[in-house]
Amino acid sequence: MPTKPRILATHQFPPAVMDRLLKDYDVITNETNEHLSADVILERSKNVDGIMCSPGNAFDQALIDALPASVKIIATFSVGYDHLDLAAAAKRGIVLGNTPDVLTAATADIALLCLLGAARKAHTSATILREGKWSRWTANQFLGVHVSGKRLGILGMGRIGQAVARRAKGFDMEIHYHNRRPVSEPGLEEAIFHESLDDLLPNCDFLSINCGLSDETQHLINDATIEKLPDGAVLVNTARGAIVDDIALIKALKSGKIAAAGLDVFENEPTLNPEYLDLDNLFVLPHIGSATFETRDAMGFKCLDNLDAFFAGNPIPSPITL
Burial letters 173-190, b for 16+ CB under 10 A, else e: bbbbbbbeeebeeeebee
Contact between 86 and 64 (Cβ < 8 Å): no
**Cβ 123 vs Cβ 284: under 8 Å:** yes
Residue 153 engages ligand 8YV in binding (rule: CB under 6 A):
no
Catalytic residue flag (residue 240): yes
**Where would I find the H helices in 120-240?**
122-130, 159-169, 197-200, 223-227
Q: Is 298 helix (H, G, I), strand (E, B) or coil?
A: helix
Q: Site for ligand 8YV (CB under 6 A): which residue of 17, 73, 79, 249?
A: 79
Catalytic residue among 120, 240, 267, 296: 240
Q: What is the DSSP-derived secondary structure letter of residue 319?
A: B
Which of the residues 120, 123, 287, 296 is marked catalytic? 287
Q: CA-to-CA distance for 186 and 205, rounded, in angstroms? A: 24
Q: Which of 14, 42, 54, 72 binds ligand 8YV (CB under 6 A)?
A: 54
**Is there binding between residue 290 and ligand 8YV (CB under 6 A)?**
yes
Query: Does residue 289 bind ligand 8YV (CB under 6 A)?
Result: yes
Q: Which stretch binds ligand 8YV (CB under 6 A): 1-9, 60-68, 72-80, 242-250?
A: 72-80
Tell me how far, at minimum, the Cβ of 289 lies from ligand 8YV, in Å. 4
236 binds ligand 8YV (CB under 6 A): no
Minimal distance, residue 124 CB to ligand 8YV, in Å? 26
The residue number with the shortest CB distance to ligand 8YV is: 80
Q: Which residues contact 63 (CB under 8 A, 6 or more apart)?
A: 38, 41, 42
- 10, 57, 78, 217: which one binds ligand 8YV (CB under 6 A): 78
Q: Other CB atoms closer than 10 Å to residue 291's CB: what's the count?
A: 15
**55 touches ligand 8YV by CB under 6 A:** yes
Q: How many chain residues interact with ligand 8YV (CB under 6 A)?
A: 10
What's the min distance (Å) between Cβ of 79 and ligand 8YV? 4
Q: Cis bond leading into 270, ω under 30°? A: yes
CA distance 178 to 199: 8
CB of 215 to ligand 8YV, least distance (A): 18
Verify whether residue 287 is a known catalytic residue.
yes
CB of 291 to ligand 8YV, least distance (A): 6
* CA–CA distance, 151 with 260 (Å, rounded to integer): 15
- Check binding of 30 to ligand 8YV (CB under 6 A): no
Tell me if 235 sits within 8 A of 261, measured CB to CB. Answer: yes
Give residues 101-130 in contact with ligand 8YV (rule: CB under 6 A): 103, 107
Catalytic residues: 240, 269, 287
* Site residues (vs ligand 8YV, CB under 6 A): 54-55, 77-80, 103, 107, 289-290
